[in-house]
Amino acid sequence: MTAAPRMITLASELLGPVPADEHVLQVDDLTVGLRPVAGDSAESIVDGVSLTVAAGRAVGLVGESGSGKTLTALAVAGLLPSAIQVVGGRIELAGREVTGLGERDARAHLAASVGVVFQNPTASLNPRMRIAAQLREALPAGTIRRRARERSADLLRAVGIADVHKTLGAFPHELSGGLNQRVVIAMALARDPKLLVADEPTTALDVSVQAQVLDLIDELRERLGLGVLLVSHDIGVVSDRTDHVYVMSGGRIVESGPTAEVLGDPHHAYTRRLLAATPSRLEPVGVAERGQPVVEPAAPVADQLEVRDVRRTFTVRGSAGRARHVALDGVDLFVTKGQAIGLVGESGSGKTTLARIIVGLERVDSGVVSYEGNPLARHTRAQRRQWRREVQYVFQDPYSSLDPRLTVDRTLREPLEINFPGLSRGDVAARVDSLLDEVELPRAFRDRHPSELSGGQRQRVGIARALATEPSVIIADEPVSALDLSVQARILRLLARLRIERNLTYLFISHDLAVVRYLCEDLVVLREGSVVERGPTEDVLERPASPYTRALVDAIPGRALVRS
Amino acid sequence: MSLVQVTEADGGSAVPTDVGVEAEAGRRRLQRRTIGAGGWVGAGVLVAVLATTLIGPLTSGDPLAQNFDAILRAPSAGHLFGTDELGRDVFVRVVFGGRTALAITVVSAVVASLLGLVLALAGALFGGWVDAVTSRLADVQLAVPSIVLAIVVLSFVGNSFVPIVFVLVLGSWVLTFRVIRGHARAVVAQQYVEAARVAGAGRFGIAWRHLIPSVLPLLAVAFTINASSALLLESSLGYLGLGVQPPDPDWGQMVATGQAQIFTAPWIALFPGLAVVATAVGLQLLGDGLAERFVGGPVTRRGLAR
Amino acid sequence: MNDPDTPTIPGPQPQKTGKPVIHRPSARRRPVVVVALAIAAVLATVLSACGGAAGSADTPTVGDELRLGLSRQITGINPHKGGSPDSSGSIVGSIYESLTQIAPDLSVKPGLATAWTSTDPLTWRFTIRTDSKFSDGSPLTADDVVWNFQQLLNPDYKGTSGAPLRKYLKSVTKVDDSTLQFSLSQPALDLPGRLWTIFIVQPAFAQSHNLDNEALGSGPYKLDELDQENGATLALNTFYAGPKPAFAHVTYTVLASEAQRVAALRAGEQDLILNLDPLDLAQFKDSDTYDTILGVGTQPLTLAINERKTGTPLADPRVRQALNYATDKTTIINSLLQGAVEPLPGQVVYEPYQAQDPSVSAYPYDPEKAKQLLAEAGHATGLTLTVALSSGTYVSQDAATQAIVAQWAKVGVTLKITQQPFPAWLQSQYGPDDAAADFYYIMWGGSFRGDVTGNFGPFRSDHIQSHLRAPEFDDLTTKAQNAATEAEKTTYVDQAVENAHSQAHAIFLYPSPFTGVVSKGLQWTPKPNRYLYAQQVGRAAQP
Amino acid sequence: MSVSQDASAGPAPAPAPWSVPRRRVRAPVSWRYIGGRLATGLVAVWGAVTLVFFALYATGNPAILLVPPDAPPDEILRLTHLMGFDRPLPVQYWNFLTSVATGTFPDSIRYGADPLPIALAKIPASLALGLTGLLVGVLLGGVIGYVSATARSGWLSRVPLGIATGIESVPTFFIGIVLIIVFAVRLGWFPVTSTGDAASMVLPALTLAFAFIPAIARVFRTALLDVLQAEHIRTARAKGLPRHVLVSRHVVANSLGTTLNVVGIQAGVLLGGAVVTESVFGWPGIGQLSINAVQNRDYPLVIVCVLAIAVGFVLINLVVDVVAAVVEPRLRS
């Protein structure tokens, strides 16, 4: 699925490129608010946003969640949810003011001039229609049936899909996310729009696929003279792909200008904070900060955790019969005490399965997992209890990893009561307090429910829970991937500090090489259930030995940002 | 760069979408919600029915007292719901009939809910063959309409309290089972349950700490729905002559015996029938209210129970 | 989605904000008001729909088709298996013929047989018609009749009508084409009457078809269609030798519940239905389309007594007499049966089956006497007894039983009712003494005047439904059955009647009321034994 | 079992945003799948008939019903032996199982003939009534669900649903009585007693439909509301599709899967509701036959009726599963 599209002539090319710098989108003082419901006062969520997108240019709109960037994009595309409406300001698209038009005209004009690409490609496609039918719908009204098929095929070729006919006949769930995103882009292009609104188009995709999709958008932009409004929380992506950037926070635009200028020399404090939190910008935690090396390098190092030739196959059952999915195909892994190992790979590479096997949430088909030189299968009761206590897990999803019914206090008490049955009530309470201190949460939070906590705070509770049993090994599965950048940075620093203070061994799983680079000295790269490369982090990132790792490294967005 | 930072700024939600903010607010609103007006009305109706059937017997007369001088009298101040072919007061009979109906309904709904709960939790926690066996049991139950099973059992075993409760339980435990099982399996797959396992919690610890508290609201919903389905089934059995035996009054049976006089003395069949409907509506509204409050959508009754 | 475990139940509230919940138009406002309004509307409709005079909806006119209602499901139409007058029996009698038949006044009349004589107490000769034909046109011969009896006398034959025959009939032989000879093992003065239930089927057909739901007889009608659950349609037997019936097409419809019968009549869908609750007749009294029948039926109703249960107080005749005194028959009759009948005269037989014994009269209602007798028997503190009922089997039995419960309560006897479907009820009666209830309703009756077996049978200790211990009565009735002369028979019958009365082997209630609703367009002589033969229904003379 | 969950279903543990399933093989519904469902169904059928067998055979002797009142007492024994009811229970059960397996049942007591054709002969009438009721119920329920999910006015979204909710609380027999009084006796539009023809089907079919409407309406409404919020609806809106296309092709079509599932479960209602409905109206179907068979203790016929109903339920569900897989492509893999 490489982006090597046969050059296809699209209608807009025949018309000639749109003159550069002609504005395809002009938004003035846009205000978006909740449709007033009885009892609620109308509150505005987007407040006085103005921006322009020129033909053939890519404009970035960055900000964290809740900043209003997606609503701005949806307002432009005329796709606001029914509870939210444009309250004020004007939107001019391809030379025509949309805000003044009646509903029917507005819909027609919008459909003809804006293409939209969403975050989650598979969910953005109708699950029970074949691609061909969905593409046909996207074509301008009145396209003859026979022509429609050809047009659809052309569009797919234009977005770099090689096996056009197979794709046309497929249902969305039968295609990969990257392929689906290409289909969505093809649909967005079907009516030769002037503007492409891309709302987090790559967030749901693997890194290497991300790069391909962004390349495609770039290429189409240049070739068709499209204006692109790229909405993203990823500074790296915006830095790589846009000419001009708007930074949003709290529903307002706080800073704007040419991308290089804004990111190179941010004026607004918010922009600076955002940049500082970019993983690539985080300073690796050095030996100096860590203090003395935890383990004497000279001492004979015994592996604390040992994984030998582990295999695991899943059987996927469906109405069409069974399918086998090989998750792990003979993986070896050795973790010595005090080490921090990063486990990277794309989705489906088996990294999560491996982590779950190590903590006993998943069984192996074959192979041996040992703790402190002793295979798990041969543990005595006491050994098993010790392993259970000492190897802890931090979950990816801060939302589902906390029981919504339990307060922070009860969540933290659970492991204490199980593992230290001798503790008095007072002791337990004291321990809960000190755990909260350790993860930098106010003690008053102990009576809160998860719904009263932000994502970052929840993840801190999750970390505190893992620390409660006084573990020596922490296995963390994408602990920051669900968090906003600034929060992500703070959690990463917390993890780094805890490692030093508690002398912890880390097995850190991530798809984000930048994040791993910050926290881990050693790196293991997994691909389709096998280890393709391992070694010190810097070595692997600077001089990747396998082409796969190289592709991964190259795909990291925002390299320019790091060097700047 | 200080390692310790103020954490209040840990804002933001997991998925970078602005709409999330709105959803968050929506969820808060949702949590504030109670069982809603309908739920309260349902609860009110039930309390009224319960009060009448529990307190009524203390004040009103004998449901079996016959008065051949006042046969088939229309509703009046003296006989609120009129009298039947034996001169018995229909109101008193409806009140007493309610006692039987409600006792049977409540007992069988409790037993059905507990049975469904235990089997569902066992299936969710132990998985494997336990889950397979309990699920097959549910399939077997579903393959025969409960009314058919009830008719078979009752007409051959006899129709006293225990067999009636037995068939009603047989007819409605599957609803609780499937509702709870689906939920429990989803909960068991949640990361917080895995977190508890990693923390060393055993099956019963997980059940006690996480599973049972989380299914309780659902159990309440399932209970009201079980109760209303048991009530309807019980009245159907009574109507077919397989329920509580005369002369003890029972709503369904009263409808059946009064049906012949429906053109000349409609009150005999109508009021017990309306009593069934009112109670069922009460349970239904309460169940819907609870379902909206705790589950976020409807749980269909007949769909599962029958 | 395919997983049946979570079909419509959204699981735990999703904790992720991934899917914004925004547009839910009034999803949570429960339409309470609407429900209330809907109920009110239904109530109003029903109330307005009820009441009003019957038959005002439309006026049924009797058409080409005769529509007869049956009050019980058809249990097959095998002529050799007997059948209830309320279902199978009526159909069988319209399709088949027997040697004799019973007139509405219960006298025995010629059928296939035109004459009969008894040469000695154990030998009878029957002269049969030679012009009878089955509905396929084949003639009905003396050989056919002999064949039918031979089948029934064979102990391995499935047809159950043969069982009583085998007790007294040795053989049936053909003398000539129109004469049959019956050889008996016991005298039977009432033999011609007894033979009315032996219907003659065509032998070849019987051997090749399932008689339970197919028929080939020589009666006035032939079977057109049969649905044992819902009824049957009959068409004329064009080969029938007798007078042509008034209707060419007949539909028998099973209307098993009182409510169905009332509704069908009110909708004008039936021409003739028997067995309505006397209370329900009132609504058809002023009808333009229907006449009502409220009279005395042929079957006396009693509460049969289980005297053989271990340790039962009912073994004591004083208790049985006490309960007879404690039962207020008149009140029940006046309130429930619209005063249609008189209490039974304390006899197990009565007119029109048997001349009434003037020396025996009904137990009067006398609760004081009842209490006294109970006290004498040592039950001053009270008794608890059970009665088994089968819903809808006998007219007004549910209400009457409940009245009896109330009456007996006044003398300290608690009577508990067990209501069972008919088969289960039958089964518990046929079962062992200790499993049966203390009382159960029986409505019995012979089929014709002088039918000793039919009338006394249920009160004999050896009857299949009986739980009595009545050796004297058994002896007397056996003698009556075997009597060689009418005088001898009458003597024994009277003695038996007196014995049953004094020993109180039953709680004597009243004769069953005979009720019916008949279209004014019909001409029908009420037949109190409830057999509803289509050929006996005629058209009313046009005014 | 659990395949990719639709928005309305329970919360599968939320997958990481990037762990979108990579590749799934497309295949139609396989015979193996159908076989599996049938095997499960077979177990259910076996359980059902076994339950009924023991309820029947452990409690009584049907021979009694055949005995005429004037027969000698030993007639019961004779018939009992003739019919094999005096054999030990395990032997009877074994004979029973073989008879079920081979389809050769002992003669019906009331009919004196093979009960299988008797029961089968009743199925067309039941099917006609059931399918009509189902069709009417699904249509009415669908319309109510659709209106209440999409109506802008508060009343439209509440009134029909409210009525449906009310109906759900009315016992089937009561609905039947009301319909008979109003439409058969008072108005005389339809006959009181069923003859099996179209006119006499109206009232029972309506009664049966009332049993479906509430569940269908509510589930369809929920499904619609869920789909209305799905992301792909936003994509479809972006195409500028006319509202009716959007609604029919995208919203309604995607709500059918969930709704179909409920229709499948409602098959139980169809069969169970039919029992009461057929009794109330005297509809000549298998529901009425089975009640009468039970009341007459016609054991072989009861068994065959239960067998037919259970098999019918399994088959209906299989059909629904297959249709759901056709409607819902995600279920195929």
CA distances from A140 to A16, A113, B234 (A): 19, 11, 60
Q: Is B33 in the A-facing interface, judged by CB distances under 8 Å? A: no
- What pairs with residue D121 in β-bridges? none
Question: What phi and psi values does residue D145 have, to the nearest 5 degrees?
Answer: -60, -40
d(CA A64, CA A66): 6
Residue of C nearest to A80 (CA): C22
Q: Is A11 left (phi over 0), alpha (psi -120 to 50) or beta?
A: alpha
Q: How many CA atoms lie within 13 A of A376 on its CB side?
A: 23
Q: Is C22 in the A-facing interface, judged by CB distances under 8 Å? A: yes
pLDDT at B175 over 90: no
Q: Provide the shortest C-alpha distance from residue C3 to chain A (in Å).
A: 10
> How sure is the predictor about D269, in pLDDT bands with cuts at 50, 70 and 90?
low
The CATH number for C453's domain is: 3.10.105.10
Q: Is C224 in the D-facing interface, judged by CB distances under 8 Å? A: no
pLDDT average, residue stretch C474-499: 88
> How sure is the predictor about C30, in pLDDT bands with cuts at 50, 70 and 90?
very low
Report the residue from A127, A180, A348 with minimal CB separation from D254: A127
d(CA C317, CA C301): 20
Which distant-in-sequence residues (6+ apart) come within 8 Å of C166 by Cβ? C152, C153, C155
Q: Provide the shortest C-alpha distance from residue D242 to chain A (in Å).
A: 9
Which domain-ending residue is among C178, C208, C238?
A: C208
d(CA A231, CA A119): 10
d(CA D112, CA D107): 5
Report the residue from B41, B135, B264 with minimal CB separation from C283: B264
Q: Provide the shortest C-alpha distance from residue B299 to chain A (in Å).
A: 22
Report how many Cβ contacts below 8 Å link chain A to chain D: 152
Which distant-in-sequence residues (6+ apart) come within 8 Å of C422 by Cβ? C390, C391, C393, D295, D296
D-chain CB neighbours of B259 within 8 Å are 177
Distance of CA D245 to the CA centre of its chain: 32
Q: Is D127 in the C-facing interface, judged by CB distances under 8 Å? A: no
* DSSP annotation string for D85-152: TTS-HHHHHHHHHHHHHHT-PPPPTTTSS-HHHHHHHHHHHHHHHHHHHHHHHHHHHHHHHHHHHH-S
Q: Is residue C443 part of a domain?
A: yes
Find the distance separating the first CA and the last CA of chain B, reported in whole Å.
66
pLDDT above 70: percentage of residues in chain B:
80
Show the domain range for C139: 76-208
| pLDDT score recorded for residue C314 | 92
CA distances from A314 to A187, A327, A350, B114, B129 (A): 35, 7, 11, 35, 19
Q: Is A399 in the C-facing interface, judged by CB distances under 8 Å? A: yes
**Span A164-220, pLDDT tens digits:** 888 888 888 888 888 888 888 888 888 888 898 988 888 777 777 888 888 888 888
| pLDDT score recorded for residue C114 | 93
Q: Is residue C18 part of a domain?
A: no
Q: Is A257 left (phi over 0), alpha (psi -120 to 50) or beta?
A: left
| pLDDT score recorded for residue C50 | 52
Angle at D94 between CA D92 and CA D98, to 5 degrees: 115
- What pairs with residue C133 in β-bridges? C139
Report the residue from C15, C17, C22 with minimal CB separation from A82: C22
Tell me which residue of A192, A245, A244, A199 sits closest to A223, measured CA to CA: A192
d(CA A412, CA A410): 5
Tell me which residue of B215, B226, B228, B230 sits closest to B277, measured CA to CA: B228
Taking every pair of C-alpha atoms in chain A, what is the biggest distance, in angstroms? 80
Tell me which residue of D166, D199, D164 sits closest to D184, measured CA to CA: D199
Tell me which residue of A536, A520, A534, A457 sits closest to A282, measured CA to CA: A520
d(CA A141, CA A150): 15
d(CA D41, CA C70): 40
Q: Is B183 in the C-facing interface, judged by CB distances under 8 Å? A: yes
Which domain-ending residue is among C208, C243, C261?
A: C208
d(CA C314, CA D56): 33
Domain count, chain C: 3
Question: What phi and psi values does residue A391 have, to the nearest 5 degrees?
Answer: -105, 110
Q: Is residue C249 part of a domain?
A: yes
Same domain, C233 and C317: no
Neighbours of chain C (3+ CB pairs under 8 A): A, B, D
* Cβ–Cβ below 8 Å for C22 and A450: no
Q: Say if residues C89 and C104 touch (Cβ distance below 8 Å).
A: no
**Span B248-274, pLDDT tens digits:** 788 888 888 888 888 888 888 888 888
Domains detected in chain A: 23-276 (3.40.50.300), 304-562 (3.40.50.300)
Structure tokens at B105: 């309904």
- What pairs with residue C508 in β-bridges? C302
Q: Is D18 in the A-facing interface, judged by CB distances under 8 Å? A: yes
Same domain, C172 and C227: no
In eight-state DSSP terms, residue C199 is B
> How sure is the predictor about C224, in pLDDT bands with cuts at 50, 70 and 90?
very high
Same domain, C280 and C305: no
* Cβ–Cβ below 8 Å for D157 and C7: no
D-chain CB neighbours of C33 within 8 Å are 162
Same domain, C468 and C532: no
Q: Say if residues A277 and A489 touch (Cβ distance below 8 Å).
A: yes
Best probe of the A interface among D20, D247, D248, D328, by most A CBs < 10 A, is D20
Same domain, C335 and C385: yes
Structure tokens at A357: 């096997």
pLDDT at B299 over 70: no
Pure H helices in A244-380: 259-264, 269-277, 287-290, 351-358
**Span D166-198, pLDDT tens digits:** 888 888 888 888 888 888 888 888 888 777 678
d(CA A511, CA A507): 13
Structure tokens at B92: 């008193």
Helix, strand, coil shares, percent, chain A, to 5: 40, 25, 35
Residue of C nearest to B245 (CA): C419
pLDDT above 90: percentage of residues in chain A:
8
List all residues of chain C from 42 to 81 with a beta carbon under 8 Å from chain B.
Answer: 43, 46-47, 50-52, 54
* Cβ–Cβ below 8 Å for D157 and C25: yes
Structure tokens at C85: 């007058």
Which domain-ending residue is among C208, C234, C259?
A: C208
d(CA D252, CA D246): 9
Tell me which residue of C99, C302, C462, C505 sits closest to D69, measured CA to CA: C462
Q: Is residue C315 part of a domain?
A: yes
Structure tokens at C361: 């009269």
| Arithmetic mean of pLDDT over chain C | 82
Structure tokens at C463: 């009857």
Best probe of the D interface among C464, C468, C481, by most D CBs < 10 A, is C464
pTM, 2 dp: 0.77
pLDDT average, residue stretch A517-535: 88
Best probe of the D interface among C2, C166, C254, C430, by most D CBs < 10 A, is C2
Same domain, C473 and C520: no
Same domain, C136 and C229: no
* Cβ–Cβ below 8 Å for A45 and B18: yes
| pLDDT score recorded for residue C167 | 85
Tell me which residue of C540, C506, C543, C493 sits closest to C521, measured CA to CA: C540
Residue of B nearest to A450 (CA): B192
A 10 A CB-CB count for A269 gives 11
Best probe of the C interface among D193, D227, D297, D298, by most C CBs < 10 A, is D193
Q: Say if residues B72 and B84 touch (Cβ distance below 8 Å).
A: yes
The one-letter code for the residue type at A98 is V
C-chain CB neighbours of A399 within 8 Å are 15-17
The one-letter code for the residue type at D290 is S
pLDDT average, residue stretch D318-333: 70
* Cβ–Cβ below 8 Å for C9 and B22: no
| pLDDT score recorded for residue C456 | 82
Same domain, C330 and C393: yes
pLDDT above 70: percentage of residues in chain C:
85
Q: Provide the shortest C-alpha distance from residue C371 to chain D (in Å).
A: 35
In eight-state DSSP terms, residue A150 is H
List all residues of chain D from 294 to 333 with a beta carbon under 8 Å from chain A.
Answer: 321, 325, 327-333
A 10 A CB-CB count for C58 gives 10
Q: Is B14 in the C-facing interface, judged by CB distances under 8 Å? A: yes
Same domain, C507 and C410: yes
Report the residue from B18, B28, B210 with minimal CB separation from A65: B18
d(CA C503, CA D108): 43
Q: Is residue C283 part of a domain?
A: yes
Distance of CA A282 to the CA centre of its chain: 18
Same domain, C403 and C289: no
Q: Is residue C65 part of a domain?
A: no
Structure tokens at C76: 């097959």
| Arithmetic mean of pLDDT over chain A | 81
The CATH number for C151's domain is: 3.90.76.10
Q: Is residue C123 part of a domain?
A: yes
Which distant-in-sequence residues (6+ apart) come within 8 Å of C349 by Cβ? C300, C455, C456, C493, C497
In eight-state DSSP terms, residue D183 is I
* DSSP E strands, A124-283: 195-199, 227-232, 244-249, 252-258
The helix or strand, by DSSP H or E, that contains position A51, with its residue range, turns out to be strand A44-54
DSSP β-ladder status, A505-510 and C221-227: unpaired
Tell me which residue of A448, A439, A438, A441 sits closest to A411, measured CA to CA: A448
DSSP β-ladder status, C413-420 and C383-390: parallel
Same domain, C114 and C238: no
> How sure is the predictor about D331, in pLDDT bands with cuts at 50, 70 and 90?
low
**Span D193-230, pLDDT tens digits:** 777 678 888 999 998 888 788 888 888 888 888 888 78
Q: Is residue C328 part of a domain?
A: yes
d(CA C370, CA D236): 88
pLDDT average, residue stretch D250-266: 78
Residue of C nearest to B267 (CA): C47
Which distant-in-sequence residues (6+ apart) come within 8 Å of A102 by Cβ? none
Report the residue from C2, C15, C22 with minimal CB separation from A319: C2
A 10 A CB-CB count for B88 gives 25
Tell me which residue of B57, B97, B51, B86 sits closest to B254, measured CA to CA: B97
**Span B185-202, pLDDT tens digits:** 888 888 888 888 888 888
Same domain, C270 and C324: no
The helix or strand, by DSSP H or E, that contains position C304, with its residue range, turns out to be strand C290-305
pLDDT at C443 over 80: no
